[in-house]
Amino acid sequence: MESGGVGGLVGRCIEAASANKETVEKWRRQRRTLERLPAQLADALLRRLIRRRLLYPSLLEVFQQSVEEIDLKGESYVDAEWMAYLGAFRYLHSLNLADCRAINNSALWLVTGMTSLKELDLSRCSKITDAGLKHVLSIKNLEKLCISETRLTADGVMLLSSLSNLRLLDIGGIPVTDKALSSLQVLTRLEHLDLWGSKISNNGAAVLEMFPRLSFLNLAWTSVTRLPNLPSLTCLNMSRCTIHSISDGNCKATASLSKLFLPGTTIDDVDEAFRNVEVNNMTFLDMSGSSICNFHFLVKMKGLEHLDLSSSTMSDTLIEQVANVGINLRYLNLSNTKLTTQGVCILAGNVMNLESLSLSHTGICDTALTYIGMMPSLRMIDLSATNIKGFAYWGRDDLEKTFSLCMLQNLSRLESLNLEETKVRDEAIHPLGFLRGLNCLYLKSDFLSDVSLHALASLSNLKYLGFRGAVLTNSGLLLYMPPVTLRVLDLRGCWLLTEDIVSSFCRSHPHIEVRHESIQMIHTIENVCAGSSPFHRTIQAPKLKSKEGKLSHAPSGFPEFAFVDERTKYTREELLELQLLPLSSFLPYGPDVLPEVLRKE
């Protein structure tokens, strides 16, 4: 059952019960009923109360006979008083206190004796030390314990060996030493072990053989270079490590990994690293940012569904090895590589099941769109920051000009398309109007204007439209008829739009969330936020970039409040006037010599 199911009488009751403080008061005295409440209903009601911020410590008491699961993740107000009530929950099975910053050692004392508790999450409760962990050790039935990024030490970790029922242990971000890890050998039921950022070395990693059921292992950001042979392992994360071997030793029983996260790893000899690994079952491989130049190991990974090679050395000559295992690929990320159109040509025809393809920041050009059009299952395409212009010349004499985005019309399942920071101009946009299935479209370019926005009005299923940094005028926005499905319209960086026009557009389309600097500016001023805001950095200022930079160095001229975007401060006429001014001549002299338009308050 879904907790807040819109339909269904149960969902409506939960909704009605948690409408406001008064409704809570109406039922909180019905103790007999509350005690009889089935656990899944009590859990759902409590979840809703937490989300609505209607829960307070003494209200917890009415749930102590019924609730089995509580998730208070990130609620920084949860303190010892809350814990006093939570400690009395008789049937509590799972307690999530991750990111509850107010929880300290003495608050944790109140969990002692919660014999029904099986799962406890204390991740990032930064006040918890070894002394606090001793209280947790009294819960002998504990099966899942997350204590990553607390102030535990290696000595504290050694104490965990008494929790012999543990199946999942997350001790990431804690300086676990080899010695501490070897004291955990007795936890033979462990299936999931998170040790990222620890001080484990190869000696410590050898101990991992002692966990016969271990299926998930995270050793990211450690100095481990060699792993012993772990036959039960299915998921391994060794990002940011230097890898010599994933399955050391000469025995034939090999690891049967299915998911491998290796972003940013350094691998000297790939064949050696994968030598004993059974890769037939591999479905997920993330090697982004890796420096390897040899992708022969891919050959056997016929079952691969997710492959991330972004920021790697992948190039047109190496792509063939990806194409060979492309038949089951669903997700392929080749962004930030040296790939060009030729590489895409090799891929086409070999990746019939590909649903998501990212080629952003690569050297592909318009011809690549022809090949992308031959990948029939595509749902998401990211072509941002490429050389795509939207048209190409065909024939020997370059006489016939065709609009290359038409090639995407064959992709009947296409839902999301990213063309940000490409060279597509107004004239080339119109083929996009025929991509009827499109849900999300991302455009960001100073070549686009009103014409493009109007051409996109025919996309009747659009939910998200990014039209950033474009030369969109006030009248252009007012004449735009958005499709009824549209929920988000991102106009950041459309510097010609004025505040009143944007807000009147918002008023006439209340169901659309419009993003624009002028809206952010209103919020900023409301919050009396002085000085430069973080938005400032993200704003693209293609036209007035240099001038804007200089203007923002003269804050003393505008004593009332800081503008998020200097350009929104002036009207269009003033801006045009500004363009003609010799800026360098007046800036060094401070506010007194500012031209009249700039002294406007």
Partner 1 sequence: MKKEDTVKLISAEGFEFVIDKKAAMVSHTIRNMLTSPGGFAETQLGEVTFPEISTPILEKVCQYFYWSLQYASGMETEFHIEPEITLELMMAANYLHT
10 binds partner 1 (CB under 8 A): yes
Stretch that binds partner 1, among 37-45, 181-189, 197-205, 250-258 (CB under 8 A): 37-45
Largest distance between two CA atoms of the chain: 87
Q: Which is nearer to partner 1, 44 or 78 (CB)?
A: 44
Question: Distance between CA atoms of 542 and 496, rounded to whole angstroms?
Answer: 12
Least Å distance between CB 482 and partner 1? 24
User: Measured from the CB of residue 400, what is the shortest distance to partner 1 in angstroms?
Assistant: 53
> What is the DSSP track for 389-457?
-SEEEETTTT-EEEEGGGGGGG-TT--EEE-TTS---HHHHGGGGG-TT--EEEEE-TT-BHHHHHHGG
Which of 63, 274 has the CB closer to partner 1?
Answer: 63
Size of the site for partner 1 (CB under 8 A): 24
Q: 339 and 362 in contact (C-beta within 8 Å)?
A: yes
30 part of the interface to partner 1, by CB under 8 A: yes
256 DSSP 8-state letter: -
Please identify which residue in 2, 4, 6, 13 interacts with partner 1, judged by CB under 8 A.
13
Smallest distance from the beta carbon of 107 to partner 1, in angstroms? 30
Output the smallest distance, CB 92 to partner 1, in A: 20
- Smallest gap from Cβ 38 to partner 1, in A, equals 6
542 binds partner 1 (CB under 8 A): no
The residue range among 31-39, 320-328, 413-421, 578-586 that interacts with partner 1, by the rule CB under 8 A, is 31-39
Site string for partner 1, 40-79 (x = CB under 8 A): xx---x----------------------------------
Q: How far is the CB of 61 from partner 1 (least distance, A)?
A: 15
DSSP codes, 563-578:
-SSGGGGS-HHHHHHH
Instruction: List the structure tokens of 536.
Output: 């400032």
Which residues, listed in sequence order, are joined to residue 95 by a DSSP beta bridge?
70, 120
Q: Compare residues 5 and 363 and give the one whose CB is closer to partner 1.
A: 5
Closer to partner 1 by CB, 28 or 536: give it. 28
Nearer to partner 1, 29 or 396 (CB): 29
Residue 115 · residue 88 · CB < 8 Å? no
Q: Of 3 and 498, which has the nearer Cβ to partner 1?
A: 3
Select 22 or 398, whichever has its Cβ closest to partner 1.
22
Least distance from partner 1 to the Cβ atom of residue 530, Å: 45
Binders in 457-476 for partner 1, by CB under 8 A: none
Q: Is 550 in the site for partner 1 (CB under 8 A)?
A: no
Nearer to partner 1, 30 or 280 (CB): 30
Stretches 36-44, 226-234, 322-330, 495-503: which one binds partner 1 (CB under 8 A)? Answer: 36-44
For residues 334 and 375, give the distance between their C-alpha atoms in angstroms, rounded to a whole number.
15
| Binding status of residue 22 toward partner 1 by CB under 8 A | yes
Interaction between residue 34 and partner 1 (CB under 8 A):
yes
Shortest separation between residue 58's beta carbon and partner 1, angstroms: 18
Say which residues have a Cβ less than 8 Å from residue 528's Cβ, sequence separation at least 6. 561
Stretch of residues binding partner 1 (CB under 8 A), selected from 38-46, 200-208, 301-309, 434-442: 38-46
Q: C-beta of 91: minimal distance to partner 1 in Å?
A: 17
The stretch near partner 1 (CB under 8 A) out of 14-22, 47-55, 435-443, 473-481 is: 14-22
Using the rule CB under 8 A, which residue among 3, 4, 27, 457 binds partner 1?
Answer: 27
Select from 33, 58, 126, 294 the one that contacts partner 1 (CB under 8 A): 33
CA dist 326 → 233, 277, 320, 466 (Å)? 25, 20, 10, 31
Report if residue 235 touches partner 1, rule: CB under 8 A: no
CB of 23 to partner 1, least distance (A): 4
Give the shortest CB-426-to-partner 1 separation in angstroms: 42
Q: Are strands 391-394 and 400-403 parallel, antiparallel or unpaired?
A: antiparallel
DSSP-assigned beta bridge partners for residue 442:
418, 466
Instruction: Rank residues 24 and 314 by Cβ distance to partner 1 and give the closer one.
Output: 24
CA distance 281 to 262: 17
Query: Looking at beta carbons, which pairs linking 145-148 to residues 24 or more positions away fall under 8 Å?
Result: 145/119, 145/120, 145/121, 145/169, 145/170, 146/98, 146/120, 146/121, 146/122, 146/170, 146/194, 147/122, 147/123, 147/171, 147/174, 148/123, 148/124, 148/172, 148/173, 148/174, 148/194, 148/196
**Single residue of 12, 140, 572, 600 touching partner 1 by CB under 8 A:** 12
Among 520, 542, 545, residue whose Cα is nearest residue 472: 542
Please answer whether residues 175 and 150 qualify as being in contact, where contact means their C-beta atoms are separated by less than 8 angstroms: no
Residue 35 touches partner 1, criterion: CB under 8 A: no
Type of residue at 436? R
The sign of the CA dihedral 497, 499, 500, 504 is: positive
- The interface region with partner 1, picked from 28-36, 74-82, 274-282, 488-496 by CB under 8 A, is 28-36
Q: Which is nearer to partner 1, 10 or 50 (CB)?
A: 10
Residue 24 or 83: which CB sits closer to partner 1? 24
- Identify the bridge partners of residue 255 per DSSP, sorted by sequence position: 277
Kindly state whether residue 2 participates in binding partner 1, applying the rule CB under 8 A: no
CA distance 150 to 153: 9
Select the span of 2-10, 125-133, 363-371, 495-503 touching partner 1 (CB under 8 A). 2-10
Using an 8 Å Cβ cutoff, are 451 and 500 in contact? no
Please give the structure tokens belonging to residue 292. Answer: 């390897």
Angstrom CA distances, 4 to 1, 56, 62, 65, 79, stand at 9, 21, 21, 22, 27
| Structure token digits, residue 421 | 């920071």
The residue among 561, 569, 446 whose CA lies nearest residue 517 is: 569
Q: Rule CB under 8 A: which residues touch partner 1?
A: 1, 8-10, 12-14, 16-17, 19, 22-24, 26-27, 30, 33-34, 36-38, 40-41, 45
